[in-house]
Amino acid sequence: MTPTHEIPSHPTITFTVNGEACSFIMGDGSHELPPSYTLAQTLRERLGLTGTKISCDHGACGCCTVLMDGKAVLSCMLLTVECEGKEITTIEGLGNPVTGAIDPLQQAFIDNTAFQCGFCTPGIIMSAKALLNENPSPTVEDVKEALAGNFCRCISHYHVLDAVIATVKKGGE
Amino acid sequence: MKPFAHTSAGSVEEAVQLLAKYEGKAKLNAGGTDLLGVLKDRVLPDYPEAIINIKTIPGLNTIEECEEGISIGALTTLVDIITSPLIEKYCPLLKEAAVTVAFPQIRNIATIGGNLCQDTRCWYYRYPDKIGGMIDCFRKGGKRCPAVSGENQYHALMGAKQCFAVCPSDTAIALTALGATFTAVGAESIRTLPVNEFYTPLGNVLTPGEMITAIYIPKPSPVAGQKFLKFTLRKPIDFAIVSVASIITLDQGICTGARIVLGAVAHTPVRVLKAEEFLKGKELSEEIVAEAAEFALAKAKPLSKNAYKLEIAKTLVKRAVRGDSS
Amino acid sequence: MKEYRFIGKSTPRKDALDIVTGRTKFINDLTVPNMLYGKVLRSPLPHALIKNIDTGEAMRLPGVKAVLTYKDVPDWMGGLPLHVRILDSKVRYVGDAVALVAAETEDIGEEALRLIKVEYESLPAVYDVEEAIQPGAPQLYEQFPGNVLPQGIPAFGPHSLRELVIGDLEKGREEADFIVEGSYAYENIPNPLPPESPGAIAAWEGTDTLNVWSASQGPHMIKVSLQRRMGSINLHSMGTPVGASYGSKFMSWQYVLPAAALAKATDRPVKFCYGRSEHLAAFTVRLGSRIHGEVGIKKNGEVTFLSGDWLVNTGAFSETSQAMVAVGCGEVQLMLRCPNWSLKPKVVCTNRTASGQIRGFGGQELECALLPLLTMAMEKADIDPVNFFKRNYVKPGDGYYWRDGNWWVCRGIDYTKAMEQGAVRFGWKDKWKGWLKPSSVKGVKRRGIGVGVHGNADVGEDVSEAYVRLDPNGTATIYSGLAEHGTGQRSNICKMVAEILQLPLDRVSVTPNDSRVNPYEMGPVGSRGTYAIGSAVIAAAEDAKRQLFEQIAPKFAVKPEDLETEDGMVYVKGKPGTGIPWIKGMDYDRTVMGRGRFEPDFALPNFMMIFTEVEVDTETGKVELLRVVGATDVGQIIDPPGIVNQLNGCLGSAGIDSALFEETVIDTQLGRIMNPNMIDYKWRTFAELPEMEHVILETPIPSHRFHAIGVGEIATSPGPSAILMAVTNALGVRIHDYPLTPDKVLSALGKINTAKRRVK
């Protein structure tokens, strides 16, 4: 079955990733971006932002979580072509780009050893970041709910909760 | 994913025209949280030629109150439903259902229209092509349903003849209890579809050229108690093993109105009229509620491995009618 | 207790910054120039002969660089004994590899798979371990009649443990006050399911040198185990950070050999990473374990004999199941002091995806099947299980046969105190109401408690080697093939070296995991990281320090042993004012290289006890895990948050939750795994965490420099059987069928009567 090319939807697509504009020419040519590319694929394969992980690739594990216009979304379940005009933030975009300082949430993950293998950590941090953006003083229950879709097989959950709550407490000081 | 053509629709009109143009070989994409999984796993024998993005259609993501009801645009995200004061005020049942769907990242992007139109989760139907090829089944045009003699622990308890997959939508169960209707728009038609007539044994009544644009919910009685209970192995992520939505009106302890709907027991939400009738005019004692639960499941015919769903369904009916929190 | 500068202190993981910023490069984050992607065509049938295979159309697809079938793959073998080809003319499970493709992109590779035409001759399949050994059952391998694999494993020596036959069964029978018998199983074959699916990149240099980058828990063992099998080539193995393994990615020829074959065929580097559905449907799961057993017990809780047939279902092949049987037979003796044994294992092939190594390594599988039998005996004797385990857990001076077939005498510690303190923390005494009695009942909800125990004497298994190089600028570099798979062990060996050399932690680092750089390393398995690997590294650091002092002593005109070092300065003991920096003592153009080796020692069992409390909804059959208390004794904690993390791991990776909801569901009409996705394969979420606490005692282990032993591997092992016990007590009826999903609970309560019995 040959794909139909009669109605190109966006010959180019533009969105921002970590504050920088990205444009792609859509298409199946070798230097174009196929419309079937997910945002996760584009971030990892075209932009080299491999901090965003693909684990289940089916929207069931949260490892590919990024922020889209400030909200946590699953980049493996979004078509890049449908991200026109969106602001995307990945794990690489946290922290202060001027000073290079990491985000207090990332620091809290270090301080609490809130990871083991670390594969799911970027997704977990991004989900927690989205929560804190929306609600700077969540309860432990709020954090559990916000992270309900984030897989962690090593069971670092308890330390993650400590880290997020520590960030909340620090922010409140 | 295998390549496809992609286009974004700027209006409902454009979307349905595109559907017509592709003659059934295009799929609409809203949140994408269901469709992309189907495409990645190559679940279906036919792969769409084109994907039509409908998130770009303006005006379909609002929740509005009119005199007699609430109107919800089909592109309204589940998170917007959960946080809507109007939904909270008039149909907390729908909020309770929406909040059980998946987990936050999904609810941020998944739409109510998509939740209603999502494909079944039957694991035979959804089996990934990569691992030895898709599994042929009645729903895909095959001769038999492999679940009947297979791993049917999540399959239908009632009403199934050839395909034993169940309706996976949680919001559909709530909307059935609320007596909602959908607006379906095609290239040359606009239809109003009551939710209880929407689902068919192999999907829904939409033609390949139609899309749902809005959901209308008549305002329920303000004194009625609404409840949605969903049984799963895990609170987040899971689709219902059984769910129950109920709207019970009591007048001085006597039941004056009852709507009870079972979810994940059939291809469609199942309104259990007999149980509803039985409750009316009665005081809701333990015995009466238990008897109503028996009525509710009277038509159930368990398969080899899903009799437990029947027990759970009865329990959920009792608990929902009583207004228990879980 | 000695106060250390780093040991026992919470310090940030050395790799923490990379992890939290997304900079850590896991295998699928790496690319090599000119790299192709490998894909596998997987069998639709559980058992079949390939009659014809046509790759022409796939080869013609633009971007496809190689299509390999059983006719043209190299004859490199895997399995124990070697019996698995990369591709064979016969397929033995749904998902078995039929053909390999290398292509310019993943999408092209997947499209090519669809163009390969295969004709199969379908053969009858068998899934049940007992049906598989019946006469007339389908035969998976010609060389293994009756589907029974030969016992023993050469790596464990000529006498590797094949069965447990000790003492006199008849005597044990006579001495018993009660004898119980029965058949129980732990056969839900959970998947450890690390978040990163397995993968490797292979690239040849000429014809006899192969570079492999892989996510492996034992990258050096990829070199050691594979290079001979591949025609005495030289294999350079580079280990990447592992997105967890839980044992499953140890010596994984399953992904290395296909990548190497495709790389050879195309003369280009090839990356081959499993997708998630492949990981769930066609990678290794836990062993299936079934016991037909008999046990005798005295009124005082003394076990007089244990006999039984242990049927081990290894699926389509044995990755290393005989090794797991050997270790399992060892571990059961640690859990249960008993003078008379007759435990006869049989490793059996069936037509499902293979079983492989997973934390708990044989012992968890054996004990989970055995515990229902033991609890019935305890019930007969009316003995509290905590008291039973206290009485029967191995004590210093007790002997046991270990995996090498030798009799080892325990010179470890007495874990009674840990058990007692665990019980107190849990509140066992208040909650224990006797066998088959709930600890409390509230309406339709009933609570129950259970306890399990497990130990392993592999903390000192196998050889480790390490070097420690001191540079004049006051830094130390550890040369070790230790993989980082989540335990923080690469950080921990830095802490050990920093402690010995009294260097700031940021002055100590570990070499990249490259077999060209580092000496032999078995890998962080079997809880051996702290004791075995740690001891090799410690010895190397001590050796380096000794050499440093020997070099510098003449400058002070003292004996080397009169010197001390701190923060890169050397001084005469007791005279810190005499200090000079290393560079002044060594000169800028000298380094010091210390060497260390650890030799195996199986005399130190570790220990883990898990207490659980559950609440069962008797109307829906749902079991909720309310609380977990772990108890152990590790001699000396190296890294406090690290060990708590590891013990918290008792829930996931095919641990406690394999008694609650984790299972691999197989449709035996089709031979297919029905839940190869992360919605239908159930795993624990943030939303449903039980209360979790641990009692971690520190009774010094004299034979370790910091008096420590490891315990991480076995965190999962005691949990599943503790859950069975807890639910049995909550319900007041015996329930044995893992996992305890609502159908089984309602069936045990007599509310439905359709749940199948798996054990025949």
Which residue of C lies nearest to B153 if distances are taken between CA atoms?
A: C743
Interchain CB contacts (distance < 8 Å): B and C: 115
Residue B133 contacts C where some CB pair is shorter than 8 Å: yes
Q: Does A149 touch chain C (CB under 8 A)?
A: yes
Q: What is the pLDDT of residue A31?
A: 87
> What is the ipTM metric for this complex?
0.97
pLDDT exceeds 80 at position C292: yes
Query: Who contacts B188 (Cβ-Cβ below 8 Å, separation ≥6)?
Result: none
Q: Which chains touch C (3 or more CB pairs under 8 A)?
A: A, B
Does residue B7 lie within any of the structural domains? no
Joined tokens for residue C120: 């199969």
Q: How many CB atoms within 10 Å of residue C593?
A: 14
Instruction: Determine if the peptide bond prior to C241 is cis (ω within 30°).
Output: no
Name the phi and psi angles at B300, rounded to 5: -70, 135
Pairing, β B211-218 against β B181-186: antiparallel
pLDDT reported for residue C469: 98
Extract the tokens encoding B221: 């009685």
d(CA C8, CA C651): 25
Q: Is A26 on the interface with B (CB under 8 A)?
A: yes
Which chain C residues are within 8 Å of B1, Cβ to Cβ? 107
For A54-106, write each residue's pLDDT tens digit. Answer: 999 999 999 999 999 999 999 999 999 999 999 999 999 999 989 999 999 99
User: For the domain that residue C532 is a member of, what is the CATH number?
Assistant: 3.30.365.10
Q: Among A77, A142, A157, pick the best mutation site for testing chain B contact (most B Cβ within 10 A).
A: A77
In C557-687, which residue ranges form alpha helices assigned H by DSSP? 582-586, 640-648
pLDDT digits (tens, 9 = 90+) for B123-177: 999 999 999 999 999 999 999 999 999 999 999 999 999 999 999 999 999 999 9
Of the three residues C598, C631, C653, the one that is the final residue of a domain is: C598
B2 reaches C (C-beta below 8 A)? yes
What's the whole-number mean pLDDT along residues C418-435? Answer: 98
Which residues in chain B have Cβ-Cβ distances shorter than 8 Å to C445? none
Same domain, C443 and C348: yes
Q: Is the pLDDT of residue A3 over 80?
A: no
Question: Which amino acid belongs to residue B204?
Answer: N
Asked whether residue C73 is assigned to any structural domain, the reply reads yes
Classified by CATH at the fold level, domain A12-93 comes out as: Ubiquitin-like (UB roll) (3.10.20)
Interface test with A, best of C19, C277, C280 (most A CBs within 10 A): C19
Are B213 and B232 in a shared domain? Answer: no
Are residues C564 and C700 located together in one domain of the fold?
A: no
**Facing B133 at nearest CB: one of C44, C621, C675:** C44
Beta-strand pair C209-214/C592-598: unpaired
Same structural domain for residues C295 and C428?
Answer: yes
The partner residue sitting opposite C195, judged by closest CB among A34, A144, A151, is A151
Q: Determine whether the interchain pair B32/A10 forms a contact, defined as Cβ–Cβ distance below 8 Å.
A: no
Identify the band that residue C139 occupies on the pLDDT scale cut at 50, 70 and 90: very high
Q: What integer pLDDT is reported at residue A72 of this predicted model? A: 98
Question: Cβ contact (<8 Å) for C487 and A116?
Answer: yes
Q: Are residues C316 and C251 in the same domain?
A: no
Of A36, A55, A109, the CB nearest to C195: A55
Residue A29: which pLDDT band, with cuts at 50, 70 and 90?
Answer: confident
Chain-chain contact of B6 with A26 (C-beta, under 8 angstroms): yes
Between chains, do A81 and B103 touch, taking CB under 8 Å as contact? no
Are the Cβ atoms of C277 and B130 closer than 8 angstroms? yes
DSSP C758: -
Whether residue C739 is preceded by a cis peptide bond, meaning omega within 30 degrees of 0, is yes
Percent of chain C with pLDDT over 90: 98
CB-based contact A57 C13, cutoff 8 Å = no
Cross-chain residue pair A159–C645, CB shorter than 8 Å: yes
User: Measuring CA to CA, how many Å separate C317 from each of A170, C139, C718?
Assistant: 53, 12, 27
CATH 3.10.20.30 in chain A, residue ranges = 12-93
Q: How far apart are CA A137 and CA C711, in angstroms?
A: 37
DSSP character at residue A45: I
Asked whether residue B212 falls in the same domain as residue B233, the answer is no
Question: What average pLDDT does range C510-518 have in this prediction?
Answer: 98
C157 in a structural domain: no
pLDDT in tens, B229-253: 999 999 999 999 999 999 999 999 9
Chain B residues whose beta carbon lies within 8 Å of the beta carbon of residue A3: 3-5, 49-50
Per the structure, how many domains does chain C have? 3
Among all residues of chain B, which has the CA nearest to that of C674?
A: B123
CB contact under 8 A, C22 and A52: yes
Tokens representing B201 are 């044994």
Nearest residue, CB atoms, C20 vs list A61, A106, A159 = A106
State residue A5's pLDDT score. Answer: 42
CA distance C749 to A154: 34
The model's confidence at residue C252, banded by pLDDT at 50, 70 and 90, is confident
Count interface pairs A-C at CB distance under 8 A. 169
* pLDDT tens readout for residues A160-169: 999 999 999 9
Q: Is B219 near chain C, with CB under 8 Å? A: no
Does residue A1 have a pLDDT over 60? no
pLDDT of residue A122 exceeding 90, the answer is: yes
Taking residue C707's Cβ as centre, other Cβ atoms within 10 Å add up to: 17
- The verdict on residue C18 lying in a domain is no
Tell me yes or no: is domain A104-172 CATH 1.10.150.120. Answer: yes
Q: Do β-strands A87-89 and A12-17 pair in parallel, antiparallel, or remain unpaired?
A: parallel
State the average pLDDT over residues C53-74. Answer: 98
In this prediction, residue C2 carries a pLDDT of: 67
Nearest CA in chain C to A151: C685
- Residue A48, by phi and psi: left (phi above 0), alpha (psi -120 to 50) or beta? left
**Domain end: C573, C598, C623, which one?**
C598
Rounded to an integer, the average pLDDT of C705-718 is 97
Contact assessment for residue C697 and residue C412, using Cβ atoms and an 8 Å cutoff: no
Same domain, residue pair C212 and C358: no
Q: Give the minimum alpha-carbon distance from B134 to chain A in angstroms, rounded to a whole number.
A: 17
**pLDDT-based confidence at residue C1 (cuts at 50, 70, 90):** low
SS3 C343: strand
Contact present, C398 and C330 (Cβ < 8 Å): no
- Residue C754: pLDDT over 70: no
Query: Each residue of B18-32: pLDDT tens digit?
Result: 999 999 999 999 999
**Quick one: B181 and B260 in the same domain?**
no
Is C674's CB within 8 Å of B132's CB? no
Strand C592-598 vs strand C575-581: parallel, antiparallel, or unpaired?
A: unpaired
A154 and C193: CB-CB below 8 Å? no
Q: Is residue C735 part of a domain?
A: yes
Q: Which domain holds residue C592?
A: 460-598
Considering only CB atoms, which chain B residues are within 8 Å of C111?
2
CA-based nearest residue in chain B for residue A62: B105
**What is the arithmetic mean of pLDDT over B78-101?**
98
**Among candidate residues B185, B218, B251, the one where a domain is terminated:** B218
User: Is residue C354 in some structural domain?
Assistant: yes
Same-domain pairing of C474 and C538: yes
Amino acid in position B207: T
Q: Are C290 and C313 in contact (CB under 8 A)?
A: yes
Nearest CA in chain B to A34: B3
Q: Which two tokens stand for residue B263?
A: 């979810």
pLDDT digits (tens, 9 = 90+) for C316-360: 999 999 999 999 999 999 999 999 999 999 999 999 999 999 999
Same domain? For B260 and B311 the reply is yes
First to last CA, chain A: 61
Contact (CB<8Å) B5/A35 = yes
To 10 degrees, the CA torsion angle through C125, C128, C134, C139? 30
Domain count, chain B: 2
For the stretch B49-65, pLDDT in tens is 999 999 999 999 999 99
Give pLDDT tens digits for C676-686.
Answer: 999 999 999 99
Q: Residue C661: closest CA among chain B residues belongs to which residue?
A: B233
Distance from CA of A145 to the nearest CA of C (A): 6
Structural domain includes residue B36: no
Inter-chain residue contact A116 with C677, CB threshold 8 Å: no
Q: Are C132 and C68 in contact (CB under 8 A)?
A: no
Lowest mean pLDDT among B256-265, C245-254, C500-509: C245-254
Please answer yes or no on whether C195 and A120 come within 8 Å at the CB atom: yes
Query: B198 to chain C nearest CA, in Å?
Result: 26
Mean pLDDT of C222-234: 95
Question: Are residues C324 and C429 both part of a single domain?
Answer: yes
Question: Residue A165 has which token pair?
Answer: 């709550």
Residue of C nearest to B1 (CA): C107
Residue B102 has a pLDDT of: 98
Same domain? B307 vs B203: no
Given C541, C569, C598, the domain boundary residue is C598
Taking an 8 Å cut-off on Cβ atoms, the answer to whether B29 and A71 are in contact is no
Query: How many angstroms separate the CA of residue B38 from the nearest CA in chain A?
Result: 9
Give the model's pLDDT for residue B316. Answer: 98
Mean pLDDT of chain B: 97
The sign of the torsion formed by the CA atoms of C568, C571, C573, C576 equals negative
pLDDT 10s digits, B185-204 = 999 999 999 999 999 999 99
Q: From CA C203, how far away is CA C210, in angstroms rounded?
A: 6
Position C758 scores a pLDDT of: 43
Nearest chain B residue to A65, by CA: B105
For the segment C559-595, what is each residue's pLDDT rounded down to a tens digit?
999 999 999 999 999 998 889 999 999 999 999 999 9
In a domain, B164, yes or no: no
Mean pLDDT of C740-751: 97
List residues bridging with C200 in a β-sheet: C214, C272
B176 and B260 together in one domain: no
Q: Which of residues 35-54 of A touch C (CB under 8 A)?
A: 36, 44, 49-54
C492 and C574 fall within a common domain? yes
CA angle C454–C726–C633, rounded 5-degree value: 30
CA distance B126 to chain C (A): 9
Contacts of B146 in chain C (CB under 8 A): 667, 669-670
CATH number where B196 lies: 3.30.465.10
pTM for this predicted structure:
0.97
| Whether residue C695 sits in one domain with residue C609 | yes
Longest Cα–Cα distance of chain C, Å, equals 87
Q: Which domain holds residue B288?
A: 225-322
Is C656's pLDDT higher than 90?
Answer: yes
- Whether residue A77 and residue B103 make contact (CB cut-off 8 A), yes or no, is no
Same domain for B234 and B184: no
Confidence (pLDDT) at A52: 98
Give the pLDDT mean for B89-110.
Answer: 98
Strands B270-271 and C117-122, sheet pairing:
unpaired
Q: Which of residues 5-44 of B touch C (CB under 8 A)?
A: 41
The verdict on residue B191 lying in a domain is yes
Q: pLDDT band at residue C756, thresholds of 50, 70 and 90? A: very low
Q: Is residue B301 domain-shared with residue B232, that is, in the same domain?
A: yes
**pLDDT grade for B325, boundaries at 50, 70 and 90:** confident
State the DSSP code for C148. Answer: B
